[in-house]
A and B are shown apart, each in its own frame.
Chain A
Amino acid sequence: MRRYFTRKIITYVVAFFLATTIDWAIPRIMPGNPVQLYLSKFSITTEAQYAALQKLISASFGVNVPVWKQYLDFWDGVLHWNFGLSFYATEPVTHVVFQAIPYTLALLIPAITLSYILGNRIGAMAARRKWLDNTVLPVGYLFQAAPYAWLALAMAYYFAARLHWFPVDQGYNPGLLPGWNWTFIGSLLEHWFLPFLTVFLVSFGGWAIGMRNLVIYELETDYARYLRSLGASQRLVRKYAYRNAVLPQLSGLALSLGVVVGGNIVTEVVFQYPGLGHLIFLAISDEDYFLLQGIFMFIIVGVLLANFIIDIVYVLVDPRTRLSMQGAAA
């Protein structure tokens, strides 16, 4: 148990370290020079202006000091949640990111948990009902094969542009003042539903298929056969099969986080939903590198935290890890 968590925490610390280093190093390794790019945004006429501006921008970017100092400065910024100013919003990056985070979480948390719970349930049911199996399987594969961008576009076109059931832009009706009243909350929900549904559907198909396969596999194992030969009810056998199948699904959940986060970015872009994904898109098109660096770190921290939560749930669900906690051995 302690060994389990020590390993996990070491992994996350190394991941954080590596991610921070990548985030720092990439703008410096890549051929494009952010300072030059920013310089090109000004209309410069004379050599002296150029030199002065270059000096100013280099200083404000913190690239006028030795490389090792730049690296330490970057860590200092990361540890204080200070990523500089966003060029696009002319506000501190942290500010801009914090405004976007609630929207992204409002999409991701329900989409991930609901698709996981419902997908597992439906998948387990599909393993024993032929008609359900014949619908869940093809539909599940279809949603899995559909790129997030396309599914989102198709939904936005059909349900919003065509049928006008839902709006497709921003997080709420811009004519409304944010507040705790039903009109505003209703507007939030209206704008939230389609992006949520997109992210939900893609993951849902995956979980349903995975669970179906795992339950079928578990029902073929020796312990299931033994239980059946003892005369245990189908219900009981299936219950045990389900419990065993949940474990690989749970580690699959940790593996899938990266994909869901990526898909969420694309979905937000399609619906112009004001979360981190949309912000990334703006940062790319406006060449706002500080914003991009900041968002990257926030996403990494979010994914690492989510991984850690899944690790804890795993211990709660898997009796084997719990046993090794009670026995002194592990």
Chain B
Amino acid sequence: MSVNTGPPSTPEDFAGGTSPGPTGSPVLARSVGAGGAELAAMAPSAGADGFGGGRRWEFLHFALRNPKLMIGLCVELIFVAVALFGPLLAPYSPTYHGTPGLHPSAQHLFGTTYPFGTDVFSQVLYGVRDSYVVGVLGALFAGAVGLVVGFAAGYRGGVLDEILQLFTNVMICIPQLVLLIVISAYLTTRGVLFEGIFIGVTGWPWVARAVRAQTFTLRERDFVDLARLSGRRAVSIVVKDIAPNMASYIFLVFVLLFASSMLVAVNFDFLGLGPTNGLSLGDIMNQSTLWSALDLHMWWWFIPPGAALTLMVLALYIANVGLDEVFNPKLRQT
């Protein structure tokens, strides 16, 4: 691993750079390993300006020629368009009551529910939006907390590092979904905003761990030493010298956080703990279970919302692999 950092007596640090994503998924494994390789190749020459100048065009050049990134991005953009304009396109209101239990047909693309007869297609169009909102909020909050903790621990080191690492490791031991269930079971009204924030503030630990490991490799570099010698404040060094050198990595982290927040949210909503002021894809599946769609063989009630979410997440994963190849020259040839 090129990202082995820190005192080699703690195995955690050996693996620090390659912690898999929060889905239990080593999706990020290569990104992180590769991130390190990229840093090694890039930092000395590019200095603090790793993401700007000519490189940006180089990235764009490779991005446009990367099929994984392009396919993933296109699918994702279609869903984003659905999230933005879906409610306008929806043939029925999500609370419309028609003939219950209809099979999919031209009038009702995904059939209708039972016993209320709402149009599943319209519900899915609405649901995509709420699922995205929760995903974005979750990613922003988890990313923010993870970055702050990771930078502080990695750059400062010492006692602060020990404390933050302890806190991070403690949070990793507490299953996110279980914690979320316990928190929200006591609430009678739950908003989309609330859900996004709570998913964010419980989903950051792996980000903190990964960012810390990356910061560790960078803080010993000459250009960081130089910045320190010039008497600049720590925050300014982190923001202007360290963060830009891992910009591509941070970007990948946000993509994965976005995907994982949506996944956590759908399972959470499925348990009936979803937003009471909205309708997410998980809520639709929850309702289908409550009205025993499974026993009634009404597959059109729970398959389309889940399939939509799976595609939204899958497109992000594939785009992520593509982005990784774009950012990391080592992966391009293969």
Contact = CB atoms under 8 A, between A and B. Distances in A.
- Are A and B part of the same complex? yes
Nearest to A295: B178
A307 B170 CA distance: 11
B77 interface: no
A244 B252 CA distance: 24
Given A14-B170, A149-B266, A285-B272, A256 B306 contact: no
A107 interface: no
A251 B12 contact: yes
Interface stretch (A43-51, A184-192, A297-305): A297-305
A255 B19 contact: yes
Interface string A260-274: 111101100110000
Interface stretch (A58-66, A151-159, A227-235): A151-159
Contacts of A7: 10
A250 B206 CA distance: 15
Nearest to B318: A141
Contacts, number: 263
Contact of A12 (B173, B183, B303): B173
A260 B264 CA distance: 11
A263 to B, nearest CB: 7
A52 interface: no
A19 B175 CA distance: 10
A141 B317 contact: yes
A15 B27 CA distance: 27
A150 B169 CA distance: 30
Interface in B262-282: 263-264, 266-267, 270-273, 282
B173 A330 contact: no
Interface in A268-300: 269-270, 280-281, 283-285, 287, 289, 292-293, 296, 299-300
A318 B14 contact: yes
Interface residues of B, number: 72
A211 interface: yes
B79 to A, nearest CB: 13
A24 to B, nearest CB: 11
A330 B303 CA distance: 54
A77 interface: no
B312 to A, nearest CB: 8
Q: Which of A153, A209, A249 has the most CB of B within 10 A?
A: A153
B26 A257 contact: no
Nearest to B308: A150
Interface of A: 3-4, 7, 10-12, 14-15, 18-19, 22-23, 26-27, 30-32, 34, 141-142, 144-151, 153-154, 156-157, 161-162, 168, 202-203, 205-207, 209-211, 213-214, 216-217, 220, 247-252, 254-263, 265-266, 269-270, 280-281, 283-285, 287, 289, 292-293, 296, 299-300, 303-304, 307, 314-315, 318, 320-321, 324, 329-330
16 contacts: A4-B10, A7-B10, A15-B170, A18-B174, A145-B263, A147-B306, A206-B26, A209-B29, A213-B30, A248-B1, A258-B175, A258-B176, A265-B271, A269-B271, A270-B289, A284-B273
